[in-house]
């Protein structure tokens, strides 16, 4: 009757991972108690052989809605910015859209990923966008295997690169797209181990916050 289960999940660390499955696309509250803003989550899963057993490892990419005011404020406080506040906001939406399209494009034809949310209310627009993504994807990701690149962010969390300038996910059937690590800009080794020969941990917790922070 009583059972103390181990509910701790194993998370994929930084690196290029093959045979990864996308098992869920969902719109959820950002907080466990349901009080947070809605976020769009892509849950990936990979079977990893550990000793004589096969364990499941996960990566969850979480996309938050863009806050134009925060983007403009960050741009205004950046002395090296080449953009006006308005341009910075427009770029943020463009980069975000490209990143989502890059993920979905690994299993959905690009011509199916063309739509626009005209709603002016930011919260409603975001929820409509999430619903449209989930509706468009359906279960079409089932049966596909992917190669994914996860790198470390400034807090040593493993996740997709911030931008999709270079491929970070491909369908394993796609032999044209090549995924590589750029050693000049992408880290696999945690900061505290960067000057050693120690291998990076394979269980670095992955918890993408906003792709824009």
Q: How far is CA 20 from the centre of its chain?
A: 14
Rounded Cα distance, 166 and 180, in Å? 9
Which residues, including other chains, have CB under 8 Å from residue 106's CB and lie 6 or more apart? 144, 146, 169, 170, 171, 174
pTM of the prediction?
A: 0.84
The backbone region for 42, taken as left when phi is positive above 0, alpha when psi lies in -120 to 50, beta otherwise, is: beta
Q: Is residue 1 part of a domain?
A: no
Q: Is residue 205 part of a domain?
A: no
Question: Given this model, what pLDDT does residue 36 score?
Answer: 85
Which residues is 44 bridged to in the sheet?
Answer: 22, 59
Question: Given this model, what pLDDT does residue 4 score?
Answer: 53
Domain of 51 in residue numbering reads as: 10-193
Q: Is residue 206 part of a domain?
A: no
Q: Is residue 5 part of a domain?
A: no
Q: Is residue 122 part of a domain?
A: yes
Task: Kindly state the helix (H) or strand (E) to which residue 71 belongs, with its residue range.
Answer: helix 68-76
Q: Is residue 2 part of a domain?
A: no
Question: Given this model, what pLDDT does residue 193 score?
Answer: 61
Per-block mean pLDDT, blocks of 10 residues, the chain (213 long) = 62 96 96 88 95 93 95 96 96 95 96 90 94 97 98 94 94 96 93 48 35 31
Which residues is 146 bridged to in the sheet?
Answer: 20, 171
Q: Is residue 158 part of a domain?
A: yes
Q: Is residue 59 part of a domain?
A: yes
Question: Given this model, what pLDDT does residue 203 score?
Answer: 33
The Cβ of residue 6 has, within 10 Å, a number of other Cβ atoms equal to 5
Question: Mapping DSSP to helix (H, G, I), strand (E, B) and coil, where does residue 41 land?
Answer: strand
Domains in the chain, number: 1
């Amino acid at each position: 009757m009583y059972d103390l289960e181990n509910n701790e999940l194993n998370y994929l660390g930084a690196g290029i991972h093959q045979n990864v499955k996308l098992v869920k696309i969902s719109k959820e509250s950002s907080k466990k108690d349901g009080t947070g803003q809605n976020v769009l989550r892509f849950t990936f899963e990979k079977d990893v052989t550990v000793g004589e057993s096969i364990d499941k490892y996960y990566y969850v990419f979480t996309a938050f809605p863009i806050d134009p005011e925060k983007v403009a404020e960050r741009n205004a406080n950046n002395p090296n910015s080449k953009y006006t506040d308005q341009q910075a906001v427009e770029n943020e939406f463009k980069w975000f859209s490209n990143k989502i399209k890059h993920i979905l494009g690994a299993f959905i034809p690009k011509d199916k990923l063309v739509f626009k949310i005209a709603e002016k209310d930011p919260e409603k627009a975001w929820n409509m966008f999430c619903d449209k993504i989930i509706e468009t994807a359906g279960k079409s990701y089932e049966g596909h295997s992917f190669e994914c690149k996860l790198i470390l962010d400034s807090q040593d969390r493993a996740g997709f690169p911030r931008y999709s300038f270079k491929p970070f996910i491909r369908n394993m059937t796609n032999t044209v797209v090549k995924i590589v690590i750029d050693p000049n800009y992408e880290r696999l080794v945690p900061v505290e181990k960067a000057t050693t020969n120690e291998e990076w941990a394979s269980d670095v917790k992955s918890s993408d916050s906003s792709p824009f922070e």
